Amino acid sequence: MSIERIVLAVAGSFVLISAILAYTVSEWWLLFTGFVGLNLLQSAFTGFCPLATILKKLGKEPGAAF
């Protein structure tokens, strides 16, 4: 699995989990959802993604996501 696909899978999982937690536990979990969304948005414009940097250092190979 390439870095891009891992980043998309992790981001999607975080959004779904935090939305479920916001519905069941506390609305404060929506702040985490917003944080993930902002991080995705800034990475689209800057090309910097902390998770992608970590995965690259761990030896994962980049690839075309789409």
**DSSP per-residue letters across 6-49:** HHHHHHHHHHHHHHHHHHHT-TTHHHHHHHHHHHHHHHHHH---
- CB count in 10 Å sphere of residue 9: 11
62 within a domain of the structure (yes/no): no
Residue 2 near residue 61, CB atoms below 8 Å: yes
34 within a domain of the structure (yes/no): yes
**The predicted structure's pLDDT at residue 64:** 78
Give the range of the structural domain holding residue 39, as residue numbers without chain letter.
Answer: 3-57
65 within a domain of the structure (yes/no): no
63 within a domain of the structure (yes/no): no
**The predicted structure's pLDDT at residue 7:** 94
45 within a domain of the structure (yes/no): yes
Spell out the per-residue pLDDT of the chain, length 66, in tens: 899 999 999 999 999 999 999 999 999 999 999 999 999 999 999 989 999 999 999 999 988 765
**The predicted structure's pLDDT at residue 65:** 67
**The predicted structure's pLDDT at residue 54:** 95
> How many domains in the chain?
1
* pTM tops 0.95: no
66 within a domain of the structure (yes/no): no
